[in-house]
Structure 1
Amino acid sequence: MSGHLETIAHPDKAALAADVADRALTVLAAAQEERGETTVVLTGGTMGAAALAALAASPRRDGVDWSRVNVWWSDERFVAEDSPERNCRQAADAVAGALSLNPDRVHCMGSTDDFATAEDAAEDYRHELAAAADAEHRAGGHPRFDLALLGLGPDGHVASLFPGRPHVHDDDATVLAVHDSPKPPPDRVTMTLPLINAAEQIWFVVAGADKAGAVAAVRAGAPLDGTPGAGVRGTEETLLLVTEDCLPR
């Protein structure tokens, strides 16, 4: 795990989304050139969707063979399949069919239509990750992640790992069920910090003055109990891609 954290500021949300898209296209194309496929872990939220929309609209998008891109999610709301709150659905709406993804390579977390409990959905995702790892002949219960895009809540939460919750420190599991989330909906499924940190490159994508305190805490390396996002580090690179209003003036 790389301890270095680099912060890169952007004048507004549009510039941030465009930069994330451009950087992501470079990473995915290079990984495909190296080994024939590439894997990205996505997040939800307004900026996550904006970055995907910018990527889908980019004139460089055809430099990636989207049929050989594996897609996973760092977390998901445990709601109905067609709920607009689903990160998976928001991502699909953002790209609007512009990317020719192979459905077999798109790994959405289970919904209430698929499973009775969030625990069942988490267990299923663990099995799905392990199967992908076996196909790649990798140990550790997860496939290779070239890039993970993450949001950051005003309270410092990342994925569905919230401040003051014991699962922030869970090193035994890769995917967990979360209940009584302080941000609705209450039931969720999330990757743990060790699994998120298995990604080679991790980029926070953060916009808005309301996130300034959380960004400052992540940059300062605040304790995990108060700022789970401070525990995120990629194995090769960790970037805070933010709008200028997230930083001290």
Structure 2
Amino acid sequence: MKFNSYPNFSELSSALLTEWISDIDQAALARRPAYFALAGGSTPAPLYRSLDTMLARRDICNLHLVATDERWVADSDAQSNEGLFKQCMPLSYGKQWQLLSLKNAASTPEVATEAISERLSQQIPQSFNAVLLGMGTDGHVASLFPGAPTQHDDLSCLAALHPQTRQSRMSLSLPRLLDSKKIWLVITGAEKRQILESAAQTDLPISRLLREARCNIEVFWCP
């Protein structure tokens, strides 16, 4: 694990964007599709807005994005990660990048799991170029919560339930998150840094991610 520390989120974003755009440009130069799994939430939103501006200037049309997890709500709902991506990247959505949805018309994530897993297998048939993750103060990543399953059979995704709000979600499984050439972990604040630094002594989802990773994990942290 490589730990990068920055004085503020602006400098953190700039450093991550430089690496991200380099990966995108390399894939475009080689005429290969590029696949990325992205965390939702308010923390990375400014990063996605900056990426949108940079992508809109490029002649690229083979980027594929998927959320690391998604609430079982409409895109118009403020809690939707897929809706967040569309709002933050309106200039490049449908042009430079395409979205693979973790939702369908099923009534619950449990009913949809097999169909969404098949969709993932068909539309993202290879390892992610990179996975961008956040981490909760309870040590969860994506919607893989402490004490809950991190995978369902051999499927690429699983239904999840937020332990406090009981909100239904769909999450990429831990094996699918780990099937990546790079993992970028974006965290802020002293509390999350302490959780990360003590992860080796716990059995939280972040601990399993660090322990079972088969690729480089690069941490981007600021106060």
Pairwise same-fold verdict (TM > 0.5): yes
- Compute the displacement of 1:100 (Å): 4.8
> What SS does the aligned partner of 1:206 have?
strand
Matched residues in 2 for 1:55 and 1:79: separation? 25
| 1:177 maps onto 2:151 in alignment | no
Counterpart position of 1:116: 107
Q: Could you tell me how far apart the structure 2 residues matched to 1:16 and 1:235 are?
A: 24
- AA aligned to 2:159 is A
Shift in Å, 1:44: 0.4
**2: CA distance between counterparts of 1:19 and 1:186?**
34
> 1:136-173: per-residue Cα shift (whole Å, max 9, x none)?
xxxxxx433101100011111000001122x1365633
TM-score w.r.t. structure 1 length? 0.80
Percent of residue pairs bearing the same amino acid type: 23
Tell me the residue number matched to 1:205.
186
Distance 1:109 1:22 in 2: 28
2:42 aligned residue (24, 43, 46): 46
CA distance in 2, matches of 1:104, 1:10: 29
Aligned residues: 221
Residue in 1 that maps onto 2:57: 62
1:162 to 133, 138, 145: 145
RMSD: 2.3
- Confirm or deny: 8 A CA contact 1:21 1:55 kept in the other structure: yes
- Corresponding position of 2:122: 131
Q: Return the alpha-carbon distance in structure 1 between the equivalents of residues 72 and 187 of structure 2.
A: 24
Tell me: CA distance 1:85–1:119, structure 2 relative to 1, closer, same or farther (3 Å). Answer: same
- Partner of 2:57: helix, strand, or coil? helix
Give the equivalent residue in structure 2 for 1:98: 91
Output one character per residue of 1:32-61: Cα deviation in whole Å (capped at 9) or x when no partner.
223432111111012221211121234x76
In proportion to residue count, which structure has more strand?
Answer: 2
TM-score calculated relative to the size of structure 2? 0.88
SS in structure 2 opposite 1:229?
A: helix
1:236 corresponds, among 207, 215, 220, to: 215
Q: Distance in 1 between matches of 2:86 and 2:71?
A: 15
Unpaired runs of 5+ residues, structure 1, are: 134-141
CA distance in 1, matches of 2:87, 2:164: 22
- String of CA shifts for 1:207-227, please: whole Å, max 9, x gaps: 123323322234xx2443xx2
The structure 2 residue matched to 1:28, chosen from 17, 24, 41, is 24
